[in-house]
A and B are shown apart, each in its own frame.
Chain A
Amino acid sequence: MKPTSKASEPATPAPPQVGASPQQAKVPSNPSSAAAPVAPNPDLDRAKDIAGRITSKYPGSKLEWVKPRRLKVSVPLGIIKDVAFFARDSLGFDHIGTVSGVDWIAKSSLEVVYFVGSTTPGQEGFVLALSESVPRDDPVVPTLIDVWRGAEYHERETHEMFGLNFQGHPDQSHLFLPEDWNDLPPLRKDYVSPGR
């Protein structure tokens, strides 16, 4: 596989379509229209600060959305492990929450999102969502078990449900699906449940 910029280019802008929704745009504008001085939100500022530290260190990465205590950063192919180590060691995001896949079938890409919490005092309420998009026909991503050991079973689940191949994962056998499952990964959008 060659992580050409051509392949990743259409894949990366897929999520912002949803992220840059009217609802997200409304959140900051709402209070400003109701009351002239915008109430300071330290949680939002801190989330923005964390996002700034990631995007300035890794130029290819992109802030998808930021809310109080939540931020989502998408990174280009190939550097997610570096960003993950940086987030764990320098930003204090050391507690894996869960791993999710999203099938953007219209954009022909698969997204994998790591939701990472923190045990750093004062930062427990913050969750970093770190995402990476890969082409749907060649869904290979590196495993992040070295960074967060707890990601092992979550990645295994994402593998069987979305067909994402986590390179370096010790065991990608089925966790929830039957051993003899012989169909498309069920959470892909082109898999239709029986009876539908």
Chain B
Amino acid sequence: MKMALESEYSPDADRIMAVSLGPQHPGAGHFRIRLWLDGDYVVKALPDAGYVHRGEEKMGEYRNYIQNVPHLERPVILDSSNILFAYSLGVDELMNSKIPPRGQYLRVIMSEINRIISHMYFIAIQGLFLGHTTMITWCMGDRDFWIDLGERIAGARVTFAYIIPGGVRNDIPDFAIEKGLKTCDWFEKRMDEYEKIFYDNPMVHQRSDGVGVLSRDDAIAFGATGTVARASGLALDVRKDEPYSSYQDFEFKTPVLTQGDSWARAYVALLDMRESVKIIRQALKGLPQGPVRLKLGPQPRVPAGEVYSRTEAARGEMSYYIVSDGSPRPYRLKIGVPSAKNLRALPHLLRNVHVADIPVIYWSLNYWPVEADR
């Protein structure tokens, strides 16, 4: 077995220094980047994932379709509804079940709330990495209002376990609708302030304009999705491309920027949130009456079959490949997470950049190690 450190010292190039960034780096978050440096420049970078690999796919094969719900949202706590959304869609398709309209709308509401929660964390840390302390204090504080809203709907604060096969776990209380609409109005004004203090800030522009540019062709070749793809001029959005769960009922745009740099990747997140607010408002106002879930037993019968379901999660395309052999447990449960899909772009972007630019580029990919490792 080749040890990881074996090739890090190369005797013929004395000026090249091998350094590890992470996994103890406070910003890297259970993730290591192996760097080869020439002075202040990065010659080569290799991502080293796997520090938080927990074998979610193997665990999924030991549990039945309902037991899988709580542990499947653990890989991406920031975006817990969206990882369950794709799973639920897949199981629904296998069982050929039709979700009641109110359940579909509530799924959309929760998914968009989680998108905002996730993006707020993303731009908060992006601000922190750029030395912009206001951003982390503001965003982390404002993010809590959305978590509160999620708590009023689902009953839990972070891991909502709200979207389940067959619909959503419970109905939305009336006061949460009111609070949701108020939060939307307030947040739209708040986002204007983010633009002024962060995105229009000359320091932020200097640090992230033209840093880590991913071209459109490379984004396609690497299979980049989500904010990374949309910042590089690639208009990919599963909500538009194959409208699932009543997304065709709502009016929203897919924000696309063409710069492909770190600033654009952070700005796409803000534009995404503006659209999310629009969707949440439309869904709350037009919420249909009726049941929110189908009656499924604790061990639903899932017919044999295969399904590949996908949704647009906060970081990009979340996909599940579920193979069922008709037994109570999935035969194979493949989780295709957006962080893993965007990871291939990292070593490409970290070539010939300054060491000081590494955190900006790394975090602008919206990479979440726990999600990638599963």
Contacts and interface: CB of A to CB of B under 8 A. Distances in A.
A175 B2 contact: no
- Top 8 closest A-B pairs, CB basis? A150-B223, A98-B336, A125-B242, A124-B241, A176-B50, A23-B303, A96-B223, A21-B304
A8 interface: no
B178 interface: no
Contacts of B305: 18-19, 21, 23-24, 65
Contact of A149 (B240, B332, B344): B344
A178 B220 contact: no
Given A23-B303, A95-B223, A124-B236, 16 more contacts: A18-B306, A19-B305, A21-B326, A22-B303, A24-B305, A69-B242, A72-B306, A97-B310, A97-B317, A97-B319, A97-B336, A102-B332, A119-B220, A149-B221, A153-B344, A182-B1
Nearest to A158: B334
Contacts of A30: 96
A148 interface: yes
23 contacts: A21-B303, A21-B324, A22-B303, A23-B94, A65-B306, A69-B242, A95-B220, A95-B223, A97-B317, A98-B340, A115-B336, A117-B236, A124-B236, A124-B240, A129-B308, A148-B221, A175-B50, A176-B50, A176-B53, A178-B50, A179-B3, A186-B55, A193-B62
A150 B332 contact: no
B25 interface: no
A150 B306 contact: no
Contacts of B334: 98, 100
B329 interface: no
Q: Tell me which of A94, A96, A177 has the highest count of chain B C-beta atoms within 10 A of its own C-beta.
A: A96
Contact of A119 (B50, B236, B304): B236
Contacts of A186: 55, 58
A113 B344 contact: no
Q: How large is the interface on A (under 10, 10 to 19, 20 to 34, 35 or more residues)?
A: 35 or more
A154 B340 contact: yes
A177 B321 contact: no
A151 B343 CA distance: 11
Interface string A119-141: 10000110101000000000000
Interface of B: 1-4, 49-50, 53, 55, 57-59, 62, 94-96, 220-224, 234, 236, 238, 240-242, 303-306, 308, 310, 317, 319, 321, 323-326, 331-332, 334, 336, 340-341, 343-344, 373-374
A39 interface: no
A117 B317 contact: yes
Contacts of A173: 2
A57 interface: no
A15 B303 CA distance: 15
Nearest to B3: A179
B54 to A, nearest CB: 10
Interface in A141-196: 148-154, 157, 161, 173-180, 182, 186-187, 193, 196
A182 B374 CA distance: 20
Given A113-B321, A124-B241, A187-B57, A23 B223 contact: no
Nearest to B326: A21
Contacts of A150: 221-224, 341, 344
Main secondary structure of the interface of A (DSSP, over half): mixed
Interface in A69-105: 69-70, 72, 94-98, 100, 102-103
Main secondary structure of the interface of B (DSSP, over half): mixed
A6 interface: no
Contacts, number: 127
A95 B321 contact: no
A177 B221 contact: no
Contact of B53 (A96, A113, A177, A196): A177
A174 B47 CA distance: 12
A129 to B, nearest CB: 6
Contact of A115 (B240, B319, B325): B319
A27 B310 contact: no
Given A22-B304, A95-B220, A97-B341, A179 B1 contact: yes
A26 interface: yes
Contact of A125 (B58, B241, B319): B241
Q: Tell me which of B95, B241, B306 has the highest count of chain A C-beta atoms within 10 A of its own C-beta.
A: B306
Nearest to A123: B241
A117 B220 CA distance: 10
Q: Tell me which of A64, A98, A157 has the highest count of chain B C-beta atoms within 10 A of its own C-beta.
A: A98
A17 B326 CA distance: 11
Nearest to A154: B340
Contacts of B95: 23
A150 to B, nearest CB: 3
Contacts of A21: 303-305, 324, 326
B340 A23 contact: no
Nearest to A152: B344
A175 B32 CA distance: 11
B96 A23 contact: yes
A187 B58 contact: yes
Interface in A1-52: 15, 17-19, 21-24, 26-27, 30
Nearest to A171: B46
Contacts of A17: 304
B223 A97 contact: yes
